[in-house]
Amino acid sequence: MDIVLIGYRASGKSSVGKRLAHDLERPFIDTDDLVRAHFQGDPISTIFANHGEPAFRAAETDIALDVLKRTNFVAAFGGGTPVQPRVTQALEDWPGLCVYLSAPAHVLAQRIDTDAGPGADRPSLTGQASAADEVARVLTPRIPIYQRCADLTIDVATTPIPQVIQQILDHLR
């Protein structure tokens, strides 16, 4: 079964997705990578600065809808991808497994502040000075949309990445 990981910024979608795809011997798709490629490989903060967030959202919507037409993959969507209305609808209708990686705001804000990994370039969505303030504002309206799209929800607040992957593999059995 094809798998899409959704959830807020720094919930672990890219890390979990990459390792899960390796375990399942399937291609891994990260929609943020495809969006960057669409904008000549620029970092997301540069795309936001030069083209504006709406152009980023339009590209990620088209890319996500295209990914959902493929087969035999594991994909990590960007945190805002499922809340684009056409993507929400497509995910609700999609026959694959949509996994929501869920964590409370304070955990996500801390991971955003300390992340030094390849996805750490996360430009502000609100102009809010701190990640804590921004997550407090942006997460709440997203939660019901993530929940609506999800076939499986995993609490990732205190669950190490290998155990998150194991829960997905257990669900597939």
Ligand X SMILES: Nc1ncnc2c1ncn2[C@@H]1O[C@H](COP(=O)(O)OP(=O)(O)O)[C@@H](O)[C@H]1O
- Beta-carbon contacts of residue 47 (< 8 Å; ≥ 6 apart): 35, 36, 39, 55, 56
Closest CA to 36 of 98, 142, 96, 123: 123
**Per-residue binding letters, 66-95, with ligand X (x by CB under 6 A):** ----------x-------------------
Instruction: Determine the length of the chain.
Output: 173
Number of residues that bind Mg ion (CB under 5 A): 3
Strand-strand pairing, 28-30 and 74-76: parallel
Supply the DSSP symbol for 11: S
Residue 125 binding ligand S3P, by CB under 6 A: yes
Name which position in 32, 131, 164, 165 contacts ligand S3P (CB under 6 A): 32
Name which position in 14, 31, 61, 102 contacts Mg ion (CB under 5 A): 14
Q: 3-class DSSP state for residue 115?
A: coil
CA distance 2 to 14: 16
Residue closer to ligand S3P (CB basis): 56 or 168: 56
Name which position in 161, 166, 167, 171 contacts ligand X (CB under 6 A): 161
Q: Which residues make up the interface to ligand X (CB under 6 A)?
A: 7, 9-15, 76, 111, 115, 117, 119, 156, 159-161, 164
Binding annotation: 10-15, 32, 57, 79, 122, 142
